[in-house]
Amino acid sequence: MNATGSINTGIRSAMTSMKGREIWMIPIMMLLFALGGTTYGMAEETLAFYAILIPVMIVAGYDAVTGVAIILIGAGIGVLGSTINPFATVIASDAAGIPFTDGIVLRVVILLGGLAICAAYVMRYAHKVKLKPETSVVAKQADAHRRLFLSAEEGQAGDTALTGTQKIILILFAATFVVMIWGVSSQEWWMARMGALFLFAAIVIGIVGRLGEKTLTGSFVDGARDLLGVALVVGLARGIVVIMENGLIADTILHSAEQSLGGLGDLAFINLMFWINIGMSFFVPSSSGLAVLSMPILSPLADFAGVSRDLVVTAYQSANGLVNLINPTFAVVIGGLAIGRVGYDRWIVFIWPLMLILLVFISAALSIAAIL
């Protein structure tokens, strides 16, 4: 795609048509990613979007963190407010012995409220960066980011009109992601099939763009070279999780939780349940893994506290989704930051106020639900 110049021309065209209104791209795209998160747990699938969206944000006058935030927080808030996500809500509800539709109203409230909070936060940050670039948390890397993400664009003429071939290529490109979403959400596709889809799409686009054998293969190898570091980081993050699981660290924490939760009132119970799942999520970032591990043990305790089990499921998925916005053992976080060339320390500087706001919002929502 980069070699055909279609993305760069498309970026210039989009920026020209949205002149003065670029800020509204942020909530629209965050909503789209949130829909993926709340319906089928969109996570690893987002890694393909970083290299596409970050140049758009930089051209619009924002920074790389804005692009990372749209994807990572957008999909993350969708998972945090999962409604029909089979990898979180459905599997946790099944483990708790209740229908997954129980508690869906509260989850919709958390989803919509959380999305509004996050979109406003990212928009405010982006607006501030555009007015004063020195306020960016990655201001010192701004030149390096422009060279990395916009090198192809700056080396080409500033055409804003797409050719017929480029339009066809963009349609093929968009269709690839439509097929991916269909496959993941309804056909049980995962990494192997997604990889095959992207490889096939790359070959088709190269042929349509008339790149030739050498340019096509050379561009592919260059792209693989850029992602090699990301692959190594993702593998390391997953290795840490394996050690924690096989070392029975998670089981030890669950046993302690079971001992401490008995006999608590409804407000204290649900808030402590939320914090226990926050702690567990650092060790077990997988939403499905944490659900299977914790719900059979923790959900029956709700009966003794006078709290409905669906509230325990909501506390679990909210905690897991919140932690996975910053979790260093979660491959999606580390992979996304690596692609965006944003240091983990810079990400924490950017996101910690939002984490506090979301923490208060979720705790309040859970507490009100427990009282009602």
Show Cβ contacts of residue 17 under 8 Å, excluding neighbours closer than 6 positions: none
The per-residue pLDDT for 254 is 66
**How far is Cα 235 from Cα 247, in angstroms, rounded to an integer?**
18
pLDDT band at 157 (very low <50, low <70, confident <90, very high): very low
Query: What whole-number distance in Å separates Cα of residue 95 and Cα of residue 86?
Result: 12
Asked whether 63 and 129 are in contact (CB, 8 A), the reply is yes
Give me 129's structure tokens: 């960066």
Q: What is the pTM of this model?
A: 0.77
User: 180 by DSSP, 3-state: which?
Assistant: helix
Q: Tell me what pLDDT residue 72 has.
A: 95
**pLDDT mean across residues, the chain:** 85
- Of 134-148, 179-193, 224-238, the least confident: 224-238
Provide the residue type at 122 as one letter: V
% of the chain beyond a pLDDT of 70: 89
Comparing 265 with 241, the larger pLDDT belongs to: 265
pLDDT value at residue 6 = 79
pLDDT in tens, 10-58: 766 766 676 677 788 899 889 989 988 898 788 877 887 888 889 889 8
Give the amino acid at 47. L
Q: How confident is the model at residue 224 (pLDDT cuts 50, 70, 90)?
A: confident
By three-state DSSP, how is residue 160 classified? coil
Q: Which residue would you say has higher pLDDT here, 240 or 142?
A: 142
Long-range contacts of 352-360 (CB under 8 A, 24+ apart): 353/121, 354/73, 354/117, 354/118, 354/121, 355/322, 355/325, 355/326, 357/117, 357/121, 358/80, 358/114, 358/117, 358/118, 358/322, 359/322
Q: CA-based angle 327:329:335, to the nearest 5?
A: 85
Highest mean pLDDT among 92-96, 128-132, 146-150, 217-221: 128-132
Residue identified by tokens 């060279």 is 147
pLDDT value for 284: 83
Q: Say if residue 153's pLDDT is above 60.
A: no
Q: What is the pLDDT of residues 79-88, one digit of tens each?
A: 999 988 888 8
Contacts of 25 (CB under 8 A, 6+ apart): 18, 56, 60
244-297 pLDDT tens trace:
668 877 677 667 766 666 667 788 889 988 998 999 898 888 888 888 888 887
Would the pLDDT of 156 be above 50?
no
Question: What is the separation, in whole angstroms, between the first and last Cα of the chain?
Answer: 53
Please check the confidence at residue 59 and state whether its pLDDT lies above 50: yes
